[in-house]
Structure 1
Amino acid sequence: MAADKDKESIAHGDISEDKLMTPTGPEHEVLHRVYNINVFDLGGPMMLIYSTIIVCIGQCLLMSSLAEMCSVWPYSGGQQAFTKNLAPARVRRFLSYLVGWLVLVGDLAASSSCAMNNAQMISAIVQLTHPEFQMTRWSTWLMYIANIVLSVLFTFSQRHLPLISTVGGFITLGGGIAWAMSFLTLSPKQSASFVFTRFMNNSGYASSGWVGIMSFYAPAYALYGTDGILHISEEMKDAHKTAPRAMIWSMIFSGITSLTGAIIMGFCCGNWEDYLKTDLPYIPWFVDTLHGVGGGVAFLAVIIVLLNFLIIIGINTAVSRLAWGMARDNALPFSRIFVKINPVVQTPLNTILLAVVTEIAIAFGSDYAFEAIISFGQAAIQIGYLTPVLMLLWRGRHALPVPRSFTLGSFGLAINIASACWSCLIIIMLVFPLYVPVNAENIYNMNWSIALIGAVVLFVSVDWILRGRYYYAVSEE
């Protein structure tokens, strides 16, 4: 009876905040800040749209620069390979070594972030549909581990990866169309003035301009991952031609869908103020719009949970190939083990298992420690983007061999400069806290990115001195 009453109240839009709190203990506010629709706090619906446009343009320019490099060096190391071929001779070994590690750790953090988001979403769905069942912190972590383990099962077979990508593409496209049609039809609509001119600032920052820059966080997070194509390029036919095209078109498609989604979200956000009071605003939003738990949960499962799971598969595939490429250059400890290709499935099984173990290890500890790790992922990946572009600008565009299958032509220098400036802006933005003040009472506002980047650089530097400089191989590619 109690369960039925709870479901009835939810179906009529009477959703209490307690029912939608994910069970992560007293520190749940940390992950709440990570996964919330914080762009409404950072600029409102107006900046949700305009920041998406700006980020799409910036990331397209950046991917164009990397795609041109990929047409010359289509190797699984990606940014590591670009750096070691473009950096000056005196620093190329260490710099490429550092970039490889930063991208690897950043991708592991990104995968962990998606897995935790899924775990919290599933936990909240269970709590929503079965209020009598008390979710606990450990059950959420078990769901996190299940997401990680199940995702890598899909990466074992090289033969099935194209099929998984194709099915994932259809699910993404079909789910997006279904979501757009349903919400445009069923949800109460906001005015055009609200969507395109309503600016909000609940961040604590006084400068509206800075808040506008901070609003890049959400769309930038959504548009990461296109560089994953770099790390599987050695498994593609005619990679020097197909990989750059795939990178560019993937970013264009992602940009168009992100902008479309931002506009629809702005018009169809419903009782957004109430939704933002919960840990996972998407859940009451979906349930309210679809007028019931059943429809809301079904859409959540297909559109968000399944899509997140496909993203985890893609990231872990890229991570395993990047780690394999680093092992090939003796950049990893025990590289002899990790460089092996399993003869049965024809994939780097050992690096796949390495990714699983590392991501599970990240989950053990406090919420603060976990948030610290995943918060630095974006910055680490962006540094990996920036470094080879800076090296190209340092050396000059003549450092790129000709002819090449993909070229930026006479616009190359301008695009490279714009890419570097854009990356610098994003990195600066990513090391600032999303909310202020940061003090003992609001420790969850702290952004640990700069500290974690420093820790990784220190670790890699020590490893380089003690081991890496003796074993790391930089071959001319």
Structure 2
Amino acid sequence: MGREDGIMLNVQHSSLEASSLNVPSRREGTAQDKQDMWRVGRDQELNKDQRTKEMTRPAGELQVPFRTWVYSGAYVHMGSSSLVRGMIYTYLGGLAGFSFVIFSMAEMASMAPLSGGQYNWVSEFAPPGSQALLSYLTGWICVLGWHTGIAGCSYTVANMMVGAIAINYPDTYTYERWHVTLLVIAVAIVALMFNTFLAQKLPLIEGIILIVHCFGFFGILIPLWVLSPKVPASEVFGSIENRGGWDNNGLACMAGLVGPIYALIGPDSAVHMAEEIRDASRVLPMGMVWTLILNGSTGLVMIITFAFCVGDIDEVGFPFIQVFLNATGSVSATTGMTVVIMIMQFCAAISKVATTSRQIYSFARDKGLPFSDFLAQVNPTFTVPLNALCASLVIVSLLSLINNGSSVAFNAIMSLGTAALLSSYIISITCVRLRRWRNQPLPPARWSMGKFTPICDTISIMVLLVIWIFRFFPLTKNVDPTTMNWSVVIFGGVVVVSLSYYVLYARRVYKGPVTRVRMMQQ
């Protein structure tokens, strides 16, 4: 079934449906939430709780993306592989360009606040002849991106644990790769438990974490400025140290974007929780914009701080841990500061597990994955997609095994997750931009940029294409098997597998969410 206006059915409300939209409930949310779910032909299976709304304001707005200052410390070595002092300008450039992307995503979230996120948008807004294939591919890409995100986040927590142990027991502890692998799996298991047994308490936990986050920010920032040896301001702002062997500083900056973009990426994180957020079409876009503002300011402060305090990069082992140790001169103080960042990273893992499970649940609900009936089940006891959560744990555990055989696994996983999510943004924003260019109808948005939307979407696509290309670049010009960015191979492999499954089976059962969409009567 399809039409040029977006394959939407023109269905009028019955009197019963219209009256039911005005009856708020814990399960169905506000009248607007019920209308949004009715428009896409879906029943409300997950709880839209007032506490879930509070989780998104303010704590949920500060989920994965707001921890930019954490990432700027944890991944300072990524940027420094290409350049050191120039990472400030790289961050500012990435922030400026990615702001347009977040604005575009926020407006799409307001138009269609669904757990499927990008693949739902592509299914509804892509040209009729390519809706099924493009949305199917986008769904697989998002599943890949968020699973590698969990693995990468858990890997970071594991490395922090190992680093803390190393500075406390330098003479007795011997590092082994399998230590980190086991810790990655352990972190993922605990994150799953939080999303199952404590699912109804997550808003309270997020509130506590917000307090820890704020105090931790200043608890780390102030000692660094007071105690750490400083690099002259002329070197921080007036020089660029190209360490990647690139032909010019501009190319080094582009290759070093992995840190800033990884810190900023994930504006769709809250979108995948849309069906559990009250008044989602308004709360989601506002939360995403506030996230951008808070991310940008705190991230810039922390990355400038690290540029002043990092010193000689060649002497740094675990970058931010060594900076803490150099500043305080105390193993105990360094351990305490590291634990603060470790807690924040673990909370990011909890958020990513929640996001990923909802993405799997939604995509399986539309028959886009193998064993879809199993993955789409909602556990009646916990009111969460428990099967999807367990599947995520298995996938992340398998991904963590890469660490046992490759010293560059972490960088590959980071680049892979980033490239996958960037791909989904490119496809979904391009579909919306094409509809606007053809003057085809779109659902109303409660949050919109108005007449500036087409310009913003165009800039978003251009920025994303540039960043996407450089996500597959190695961090150094001289490449060998140990410095190669193998994420392009994994990304291509997943695309081939997904397309093969589509040709062999999924094309017969996957039609996309658009087949249920109804045109609201004006």
Give the shorter-chain TM-score range.
0.7 to 0.9
1:387 and 2:430 aligned: no
Q: 1:351 matched to which residue of 2?
A: 388
Taking the aligned partners of 1:122 and 1:270, their CA distance within structure 2 comes to 23
Q: 1:403 to 1:380 in 2, by over 3 A?
A: closer
Q: Describe the superposition over 1:233-260 as per-residue Cα deviations: whole angstroms up to 9, x where unpaired.
A: 1100010110111111112211111111
Q: Describe the superposition over 1:110-166 as per-residue Cα deviations: whole angstroms up to 9, x where unpaired.
A: 111111122122112112212323343322221111111111111114422222222
Q: 1:369 to 1:207 in 2, by over 3 A?
A: closer
* Paired AA for residue 486 in structure 2: W
* Paired AA for residue 220 in structure 1: I
Q: 2:121 matched to which residue of 1?
A: 82
Kindly indicate whether the alpha-carbon contact (under 8 Å) linking 2:82 and 2:245 is maintained by their aligned counterparts in 1.
no
Taking the aligned partners of 1:185 and 1:245, their CA distance within structure 2 comes to 36
Deviation at 1:269, TM superposition (A): 2.1
Taking the aligned partners of 1:284 and 1:158, their CA distance within structure 2 comes to 36
Superposition map of 1:334-345 within 5 A: 334-345=371-382
Superposition map of 1:273-292 within 5 A: 273-275=314-316, 278=317, 280-292=318-330
The one of 82, 97, 118 equivalent to 1:58 is: 97
* Paired AA for residue 298 in structure 1: G
Q: 1:400 to 1:64 in 2, by over 3 A?
A: farther
Kindly indicate whether the alpha-carbon contact (under 8 Å) linking 2:309 and 2:323 is maintained by their aligned counterparts in 1.
no
Unaligned runs of 5+ in 1: 1-33
Percent sequence identity over matched residues? Answer: 28
Unaligned runs of 5+ in 2: 1-73, 518-522
Kindly indicate whether the alpha-carbon contact (under 8 Å) linking 2:122 and 2:431 is maintained by their aligned counterparts in 1.
yes
1:308 and 2:345 aligned: yes
Deviation at 1:399, TM superposition (A): 4.2
Taking the aligned partners of 1:282 and 1:470, their CA distance within structure 2 comes to 51
The one of 487, 507, 510 equivalent to 1:469 is: 507
Q: Describe the superposition over 1:287-340 as per-residue Cα deviations: whole angstroms up to 9, x where unpaired.
A: 1111110000110011x2111111111111100000000011011111111111
Q: 2:80 matched to which residue of 1?
A: 40
The one of 122, 130, 133 equivalent to 2:169 is: 130
How many residue pairs match? The answer is 436
Q: Describe the superposition over 1:156-180 as per-residue Cα deviations: whole angstroms up to 9, x where unpaired.
A: 1442222222222222222111111
Deviation at 1:382, TM superposition (A): 0.4
Taking the aligned partners of 1:40 and 1:115, their CA distance within structure 2 comes to 22
Kindly indicate whether the alpha-carbon contact (under 8 Å) linking 1:69 and 1:400 is maintained by their aligned counterparts in 2.
no
Higher mean alpha-carbon deviation, 117-126 vs 323-332, is at: 117-126
Taking the aligned partners of 2:130 and 2:418, their CA distance within structure 1 comes to 24
Q: 2:289 matched to which residue of 1?
A: 248
Taking the aligned partners of 1:270 and 1:475, their CA distance within structure 2 comes to 53
Deviation at 1:355, TM superposition (A): 0.7
Kindly indicate whether the alpha-carbon contact (under 8 Å) linking 1:436 and 1:445 is maintained by their aligned counterparts in 2.
no
Quote the RMSD (CA, aligned, Å).
1.7
1:457 and 2:468 aligned: no
Q: 1:460 to 1:253 in 2, by over 3 A?
A: same
1:232 and 2:273 aligned: yes
Q: 1:28 matched to which residue of 2?
A: none
Q: 1:97 matched to which residue of 2?
A: 136
* Paired AA for residue 99 in structure 1: T
The one of 87, 103, 120 equivalent to 2:159 is: 120
Kindly indicate whether the alpha-carbon contact (under 8 Å) linking 1:41 and 1:202 is maintained by their aligned counterparts in 2.
yes
1:145 and 2:185 aligned: yes
SS in 2 for 1:76: coil
Kindly indicate whether the alpha-carbon contact (under 8 Å) linking 1:362 and 1:370 is maintained by their aligned counterparts in 2.
no
Q: Describe the superposition over 1:176-205 as per-residue Cα deviations: whole angstroms up to 9, x where unpaired.
A: 111111111111222211111120111011
Taking the aligned partners of 1:402 and 1:394, their CA distance within structure 2 comes to 15
